[in-house]
Structure 1
């Protein structure tokens, strides 16, 4: 079952304390799910972080594992908590304190994709929702936790890079950096998910690779960054958002001719990110 949930590429030799994670790049849509959907094949992919796992594919050759979802985000959002059930979609789900993501239809089982388009007619039963979470969410996060804990046990610390893409339109609310909208947004939940040295280093690395970088606006980090980032315990988590318009046609969900060039630049950044670790942590503490 796990091979239906995620793919895991391990390095020949694990020489980095980094773990690269792509929870929204899954594109294995169950046939029954597609048949039940109101959306056409392109619309249903609009919330997918298409090709992000390919952009960060250099991680294993740099000594770090790369975990990537196979299950698609429209089916199950691995960057939400398992308790984030949407009562508007799931019959029998308990109503909790107001959660803006759930209100927007973006719970652990999404009600909508991009532009608020409903995925299915009607509702799921609570039993159906719980079965989906048990079969997919829990195995994925068990593997991610194992990778992070393994890095900390082996190297004394772990760095989780949570890799995503963002619609170009989302940058309308992003801060202007050097007169331009950013290409990359790094999110550390305003300092809660990692020590300052890490986001500083990542900013420098992506800038050196030719990208304009902003921090925490409009994306500061989701469930994974919040749940795994425990800097006082030696686990640092940083979310990386890449502008989709840099490398893909968003409407067609197709790679642009410049895809390999962008992948090369991100690969160069991945190599340097993989070199970060205990030495930088010791220097920051001195």
Structure 2
């Protein structure tokens, strides 16, 4: 039986135009997938945004829906276009132009996990690749599109917060002014995916909670922000990357001793972000 591609945690009362989504925290690893992989059940999780869905689980309590993928990122990457198929992995796929993500093995069906470790030996059929896209990618993005359409219809705008985590080493060489490393990276594709004032307010919310924040470095956003960020249509998409070392043991892939403290700090930020969509809300349906 095909498992559901996502879960939507809906608020009792939708009171904000904000939608939270976690495309990379899925950890439903089918037995056949793990058995087929060259990697063991632990190593294959290295690309997973582990526990991000738990970190943002309070969002519905503040009136915002939370969309969570079930499929793991190693199986299918929801932050890639459905057409980003890797000819080095999938039979019958022709190379079209140069896509650096696909070339590095990080297409919609990844060839590698973190640190370039190969997932498979040999290639898979185009039919299998299409099946994964049809049964995981399309349902998730249909659900996300519908959540944003509902927000726009009710409030006259939609704000997507795309929730991710990043390895600590990803920011080890990144310094903010003053020399400190960022703990949070906000990606808005350098202003193309969201209104600058809105991103300023989100950054300020994290700063008030004591987080060090940078913008678009080293992550500016990928397919999701590019596809859904339409600020001229009052639809904004902001990617949030959180340093994993703040709340988890990256080697063991387990919550660390600071997990609940971190989650409580983040809870206040989630509350402030949802208010950004409530402050200007305009119930179009009531007009």
Tell me the TM-score normalized by structure 1. 0.96
Matched, 1:34 2:34: yes
Query: Conserved in 2, the CA contact under 8 Å of 1:158 and 1:236?
Result: yes
Query: Conserved in 1, the CA contact under 8 Å of 2:187 and 2:238?
Result: yes
Equivalent residue number for residue 216 of structure 1: 216
**Shift in Å at residue 180 of structure 1?**
0.9
What runs of 5+ residues in structure 1 fail to find an aligned partner?
none
Matched, 1:230 2:197: no
Equivalent residue number for residue 80 of structure 1: 80
Query: Conserved in 2, the CA contact under 8 Å of 1:247 and 1:258?
Result: yes
Equivalent residue number for residue 285 of structure 2: none
Query: Conserved in 2, the CA contact under 8 Å of 1:173 and 1:218?
Result: no
Query: Conserved in 1, the CA contact under 8 Å of 2:16 and 2:281?
Result: no
**Shift in Å at residue 42 of structure 1?**
1.3
Query: Conserved in 1, the CA contact under 8 Å of 2:84 and 2:108?
Result: yes
**Shift in Å at residue 278 of structure 1?**
6.8
What per-residue deviation string (whole Å, max 9, x for no partner) do you get for residues 69-126 of structure 1?
A: 1100000000000000000000111211101111110000000000100001110111
* Range 186-195 or range 171-180, more displaced: 171-180
Equivalent residue number for residue 111 of structure 1: 111
Tell me the secondary structure at the aligned position of residue 39 of structure 2. coil
What runs of 5+ residues in structure 2 fail to find an aligned partner?
283-287
**Shift in Å at residue 2 of structure 1?**
8.1
Equivalent residue number for residue 248 of structure 1: 248
Equivalent residue number for residue 176 of structure 2: 176
Equivalent residue number for residue 54 of structure 1: 54
What are the within-5 Å matches in structure 2 for residues 129-148 of structure 1?
Answer: 129-148=129-148
Runs of 4+ in 1 over 3 A off after TM superposition: 278-282
Tell me the secondary structure at the aligned position of residue 91 of structure 1. coil
Tell me the secondary structure at the aligned position of residue 242 of structure 2. strand
Query: Conserved in 2, the CA contact under 8 Å of 1:189 and 1:216?
Result: yes
Equivalent residue number for residue 10 of structure 1: 10
**Shift in Å at residue 41 of structure 1?**
1.3
**Shift in Å at residue 3 of structure 1?**
5.8
Count of residue pairs brought into register by the alignment:
282
Distance 1:235 1:278, change over 3 A: farther
What per-residue deviation string (whole Å, max 9, x for no partner) do you get for residues 191-240 of structure 1?
A: 00001011100110001111100000010001001100001111000000
Equivalent residue number for residue 274 of structure 1: 274
Matched, 1:89 2:120: no
CA–CA separation in structure 2 for the residues paired with 1:2 and 1:203:
40
What per-residue deviation string (whole Å, max 9, x for no partner) do you get for residues 173-204 of structure 1?
A: 42324331000000000000001011100110
**Shift in Å at residue 169 of structure 1?**
0.6
Distance 1:16 1:278, change over 3 A: closer
CA–CA separation in structure 1 for the residues paired with 2:92 and 2:140:
25
**Shift in Å at residue 277 of structure 1?**
2.6
Equivalent residue number for residue 64 of structure 2: 64
Matched, 1:199 2:199: yes
